[in-house]
Structure 1
Amino acid sequence: MADVARLAGVSTQTVSRVSNGHPSVVGTTREQVLEAMRRLGYRPNSAARALKYGEFRTIGVILFTLSSVGNSRTLEAIVDSAAAEGYAITLIPVAVPTQDGVLGAFTRLGELAVDAVIVIMEVHLLDAATMSLPIGMPVVVVDSTGGDRYTVVDTDQADGARHAVRHLLDLGHRTVWHVAGPEGSYAAEGRARAWRATLDEAGLPVPPMLRGDWSSDSGYRAGLELAGVADCTAVFAANDQMALGLLRAFHERGRVVPRDVSVAGFDDIPDSTSFIPPLTTVHQDFAEVGRRCVESVLRQVRHRRAKPGTTLVPTRLVVRASTAPPRG
């Protein structure tokens, strides 16, 4: 630091402020210091900084699966938002979402020295009386419930599902079938409850629910079953991948989308515009979810008495060519 200060013609205190991103150093002085750092190959000592300031500038993320589009895109958004705040991410995958698995992940993150933890759970793990997270660590939970103990950030699952089902009903369909996500998934259950509630509120029959596992293959199997149901004219799939499987099954069975059956999904993945036909779907703002997660957990880091609460990020319906009024 002293070498950088001499080369830049500033005090060591100014170098320290620049290396820590302090807003009081701006303009040419900041550029002089950064250039001196580059020329000398200077890198701040994170261990020393942690001892001095009590922070490691690292956020731990506990994740149960990267296979789902939602989880991978949420993680990507968290990484981008953390980097914008000058924080790194340490990822700990947990194969099985159990109390021991989560506590083991927290132990590993403690050894790796993190300031806070974001848990992408996707299951009703925190609802169980036996499940709790270690005390004293700032925590944000994504895609699950946290009661009044933890801060929760999530997409407004129910509102998104209501928009999709309401859209199909407004087109004139007499009911809407549903291909749900896997049992135990918090998101899947929220979307299924909203589907059923929307039909109940409209006074319309609720068809038997089919269940998939988020994959296009499971959507395809459900589609083969629904293709044989003559009065099935509209289907709401709990994610776009299963909707893709539905489209394939209906095509193979000669049911034209949307002439014979309308299909709506959930997620608005980038490829949904390239489905045949392009998919009507519920758009999730993963970037905003990631930003809110980082914002919430850093608020806890900086203000230890921050109260737990739930933040729901709004969705919006994107209408494309896979939905239309029923024939006749």
Structure 2
Amino acid sequence: MTLTDSDRAHAGEHALQPPASGKVTLKDIADAVGVSISTASRALKGMPGISSEVRSRIQQAAERLNYAGTSQPGGVLTVLSDLHLAESATGEFMQAVQAGMEKRARELGLPMSMQLVNPAAMRQLDPDAATSGYLLFSMQHEDIVSLLHERGIPAVIVNGREPLMRLDAVAPANRTGGYLGARHLTQLGHTRILRLTHSPRPTIRDRMAGCVKAMLDAGLEDHDDLVVELEAMRTHLAYQAIKQRIEAQGSPDFTAILCCNDACAFGAIAALNEAGINVPGDVSVVGFDDIPTAALNSVPLTTIHVDAEDIGARSVNRLLERVRGQDHLATYTETAVSLVVRESTAPVRSNT
């Protein structure tokens, strides 16, 4: 009969006695619980792929035997954010990222708190002893990044990128996503691709850089007049921008729109529909994020799929490594993205 890790964990509980040498090793923990050394190591490092029950038994064995290398953080993981998710146009995506963080923290038995911070008062942030480390939730204000870096406080930027690599960061492969979206449009024959962007965010700049690369690879020029800068990535601002452009031009001077996120794509489609412009017959639209409502829009949205929950979970894993001092080299982790083709894109309409 083949025993699972769970079976072996139950069978090995009686062995929770310190070794005669007095020095507890990883093998002692594995033998005490009845699992492989590899399983014990992965569980104590907070790695995925291990059931909560087995992880808990391994951690308890390590604590009872006073294994020096496996103590959990003494405090809580604090999520810093200046976003009110329920009010944000990116709410669905960010809520999924948050769900991923919370789920992973629960699996690891780690307490987590949320703290909203006024960007104007970032320098006054006073980390307390109860906090093991910080998750910067879709924010990377220079004041807070500098503060955490200078004090050596463990922190990970969630869904962002720190250009100077002073802090760890986890984000989707934004440049790849931008490339995939634009390549899809060029393969459909589009040469006049309007880009709705929000340059203050490095991740959005990466998306647009990927878009430009795809256009150049297709032999197209990068026209500045086809770039629209939005004050924020919100549906109503994208709607206003497209509405004003159509009114100013009299008719669209583009055949496709590549948007910085799905929320902006919804606004762009609404403005086009209001002007009597068919999507995708006259103009194709591509979003980014693949939030749940993307498939339910009046015109189901072609977009770039991002596993938001995975980003949250990986951010917690990385912060835990930082807190435990296992790795002092700052890393930037990108998660894979993919193109999801729905009904908002079509081949460019022939003029003949």
TM-score, structure 1 normalization = 0.76
The alignment status of 1:89 with 2:112, answered yes or no, reads yes
Per-residue deviation at 1:135?
A: 2.5
The question of whether the paired residues in 1 share the 8 Å contact of 2:280 and 2:346 is answered with yes
Q: 2 CA distance for matches of 1:273 and 1:177?
A: 22
- Does residue 1:56 correspond to 2:78, yes or no? no
Partner of 2:233: 214
Q: Distance in 1 between matches of 2:163 and 2:99?
A: 23
Q: Which residues of structure 2 form unaligned runs of 5+?
A: 1-12, 18-28, 35-52, 57-70
CA shift for structure 1 position 208: 2.7
Which secondary structure does the structure 2 equivalent of 1:266 belong to?
Answer: coil
1:59-138 to structure 2, matched below 5 A, reads: 59-65=77-83, 66=85, 67=88, 68-69=90-91, 70-96=93-119, 100-101=121-122, 103-105=123-125, 107=126, 109-111=127-129, 113-123=130-140, 125=142, 133-138=149-154
Deviation string 1:14-66 (CA, Å, 9 cap, x unpaired) is: 9xxxxxxx98568xxxx9xx9xxxxxxxxxxxxxxxxxx67335211111213
Give the C-alpha shift of residue 265 in structure 1: 0.3
Distance 1:255 1:139, change over 3 A: same
The answer on 1:235 being equivalent to 2:254 is: no
| Match in the other structure for 1:152 | 169
**1:134 & 1:294 partners in 2: Cα distance?**
21
CA distance in 2, matches of 1:194, 1:127: 28
Q: CA separation in 2, counterparts of 1:55 and 1:327?
A: 59
Cα deviation for residue 203 of structure 1 reads 2.9
Check the 8 A contact 1:175/1:199 in 2, yes or no.
no
| Offset, 1:92 | 1.3
Q: Which amino acid aligns with 2:105?
A: A
Residues in 2 aligned to 1:127 and 1:299: alpha-carbon distance in whole angstroms: 21
Distance 2:289 2:216 in 1: 24
Task: Report the AA paired with residue 300 of structure 2.
Answer: P
- Cα displacement (A) at 1:258: 0.3
Residue of structure 2 in register with 1:197 after alignment: 213
The 5 A counterparts of 1:264-303 are 264-303=286-325
For residues 303 and 237 of structure 2, what CA distance do their matches in structure 1 show? 18
Q: Which residue of 164, 167, 172 corresponds with 2:184?
A: 167
Paired residue type of 1:308? A
What CA distance in whole angstroms lies between the structure 2 residues aligned with 1:226 and 1:197? 25
* Aligned equivalents of 2:139, 2:306: Cα separation in 1: 15
- Counterpart amino acid of residue 260 in structure 2: A
Which string of whole-angstrom CA distances, capped at 9 and with x for unpartnered residues, describes residues 195-252 of structure 1? Answer: 2333233331324311221111011112213444444110001111111111111111
Asked if structure 2 preserves the Cα contact closer than 8 Å seen for 1:126 and 1:144, the reply is no
**CA contact under 8 A between 2:173 and 2:334: conserved in structure 1?**
yes
CA distance in 1, matches of 2:227, 2:204: 12
Whether the aligned pair in 2 keeps the contact of 1:146 and 1:152 (CA below 8 Å) is: no
Contact 2:73–2:324 at 8 Å: present in 1 too?
no
Within 2, Cα distance between the matches of 1:316 and 1:138? 31
- For residues 2-81 of structure 1, the aligned pairs below 5 Å read 24=32, 55-56=73-74, 58-65=76-83, 66=85, 67=88, 68-69=90-91, 70-81=93-104
Aligned residues, how many? 281
Alignment partner, residue 67 of structure 2? none
For residues 140 and 240 of structure 1, what CA distance do their matches in structure 2 show? 25
Displacement of 1:305 after TM fit? 4.1
Q: Alpha carbon RMSD of aligned pairs, Å?
A: 2.9
Which residues in structure 2 correspond to 1:253-272 (within 5 Å)? 253-272=275-294
Distance, in Å, in 2 between the alignment partners of 1:309 and 1:126 is: 20
Taking the aligned partners of 1:231 and 1:255, their CA distance within structure 2 comes to: 12
CA contact (8 A) 2:135 2:315 kept: yes
**What CA distance in whole angstroms lies between the structure 2 residues aligned with 1:127 and 1:55?**
22
Where does residue 26 of structure 2 map in the other structure? none
Assess, with a 3 A threshold, how the Cα gap between structure 1 residues 160 and 54 changes in structure 2: closer, same or farther. Answer: closer
Q: Is the 8 A contact 1:124 1:186 kept in 2?
A: no
Change (3 A) 1:167 1:87: same
1:185 positional shift: 1.6
Distance in 2 (alpha carbons) for counterparts of 1:203 and 1:225: 29
